[in-house]
Amino acid sequence: MALVSSFLVYGSSCRHADRCFRAPFGERYAWGLIMHSMFRGQRSRRILPSGSFLIAALVCGACAPSGNSGAGAVGVSDDSFPAATRPGAAVVVCLDTSSSYPIAERESARDAVAEALPKLVVPGRKASTVYVYTIGVNTYGEPPKLKLNIPALRAQPVAVGASSAPLQGSRVSGSAEKFVKRWGELHDQALSSARAEGRRLDGLKVSASESGTDLGGCLKNASEQFADPSLKGPRHLVMASDLDPDGLQQQSTARIAGATVSVIDFTCSQAVRCDARKTRWTKKFRELGAATVSITRPGYPEHLFENSAGSTGGGA
């Protein structure tokens, strides 16, 4: 790939609609690739870029006029970048508000999830949704306290590299920089939106305590959200709890297949009892189809949303 540069071939028309796109200034262009190592009188092959988006170095002298609709501050249309195609994530968060779970840990867990939300912004991924529940006497009977929306982000461009001669030059590099800059703006906007949703979560009051701990209701809520047939992306279940059920429990055998389960700020006072509780719940999550399970105590890194597969094992 180091020997490949992309460019735009100007033409008054394009025979293959799937190989053309509407440039910011209204002309028709076709994608092409020049293989610098294969110039021995051969015709250059035309192929469609796939996977990562290759930045097109504009070989024509025209530039997009300033103020073009949807072009951003650098005169590059957002439609120049491939739309997000990877499925978005579905996240279910359950914050324990039962009297046995300390208020400080509830608030710490809430803030940790809020801080991690920008990690759900992934290049090429569609919008993700976060459902926030509280665990109490009747967890399943209550609707989500919050529904947070994490925006989609168009595919990330690959910058023209140092080995892209002979197409190098101020005009080529300048055009490439415009694409990189505009995508950076889109990335920043998506992160800003995710942080705004995090502030909404930060504002959720979790100080009021309930007399019961319906953990089964959390699992059933998660299974129903994950059961959406249109959901093809990552599934995350995040629980902040002492994992100590109290009172009537919603009986749930519904699957959470493929989900990454993270129990954060897990509190327990007796080591032997704590280990037994972690073992029992890890087995329960796996029986319901969880791909990975992590149970971490307060003060340990949660590693929320760092990858789609999650991490196995449990924290100390």
Kindly tell me if the per-residue pLDDT of 79 is higher than 50. Answer: yes
- Position 122 scores a pLDDT of 96
Tokens of 176: 């490439």
**Cα dihedral across residues 265, 270, 271, 273: positive or negative:** negative
Based on the fold, state whether residues 209 and 258 are members of the same structural domain.
yes
Q: How far is 221 from 187, CA to CA, in rounded Å?
A: 31
* pLDDT over 80 at 305, yes or no: yes
Based on the fold, state whether residues 217 and 265 are members of the same structural domain: yes
* Residues 133, 50 within the same domain: no
In whole angstroms, give the CA distance from residue 124 to residue 152: 7
- Are 277 and 296 spatial neighbours (Cβ–Cβ below 8 Å)? no
- pLDDT at res. 70: 53
Lowest mean pLDDT among 28-32, 98-102, 286-290: 28-32
Q: Residue 315 has what pLDDT?
A: 41
Is the pLDDT assigned to residue 316 strictly greater than 70? no
When mean pLDDT is compared across 125-129, 135-139, 158-162, the lowest value belongs to 158-162
Q: Which residue among 171, 189, 207 closes a domain? A: 189
Whether residue 243 lies inside any domain: the answer is yes
pLDDT at 176: 77
Instruction: Reply yes or no on whether the pLDDT at 35 is more than 50.
Output: no
Percent of the chain at pLDDT exceeding 90: 54
State pLDDT tens for residues 4-33.
333 333 333 343 434 333 333 333 333 333
**pLDDT score of 140 more than 50:** yes
Same structural domain, 144 and 172: no
| DSSP bridge partners of 125 | 86
Establish if 74 belongs to a structural domain. no
One domain for residues 147 and 16: no
Q: Can you give the pTM of this predicted structure? A: 0.73
Domain total of the chain:
2
Sign of the alpha-carbon dihedral angle for 125, 129, 134, 139: negative
Pair 130, 164 in one domain: no
Give the model's pLDDT for residue 72. 54
Inform me whether the pLDDT recorded for 289 exceeds 50: yes
**Residues facing 147 on adjacent strands:** 131
Residue 76 lies in a domain: no
In a domain, 309, yes or no: no
Q: Is residue 267 part of a domain?
A: yes
Is residue 240 included in any domain, yes or no?
yes
Say what the pLDDT of residue 4 is.
36
**The two structure tokens encoding residue 62:** 């025209």
Q: Is 83 a member of any domain?
A: no
Q: List, for residues 232-282, the tens digit of each pLDDT value.
A: 899 999 999 999 998 878 776 778 999 999 999 999 988 899 999 999 999
* E strands present in the chain: 4-10, 20-22, 28-35, 53-54, 90-96, 128-135, 146-150, 157-158, 235-240, 260-264, 292-295
The pLDDT value recorded for residue 80 is: 80
CA distances in angstroms from 99 to 135, 206, 207, 211, 237, listed in the order given: 11, 11, 10, 6, 22
Provide the domain limits for residue 223: 90-153+194-295
**pLDDT for the residue numbered 17:** 39
Q: Classify each residue of 277-304 as buried b or exposed e, where b means 16 or more C-beta atoms within 10 Å of its C-beta.
A: bbeebbebbeebbbbbbbbbbeeeebbb
Is residue 180 scored above 60 in pLDDT?
yes
Q: What is the arithmetic mean of pLDDT over 54-76?
A: 45
289 with 165, same domain: the answer is no
What pLDDT is recorded for position 172?
52
Mean pLDDT of 51-80: 49
The CATH number that applies at residue 96 is: 3.40.50.410
Quick one: what percent of the chain has pLDDT higher than 70? Answer: 67
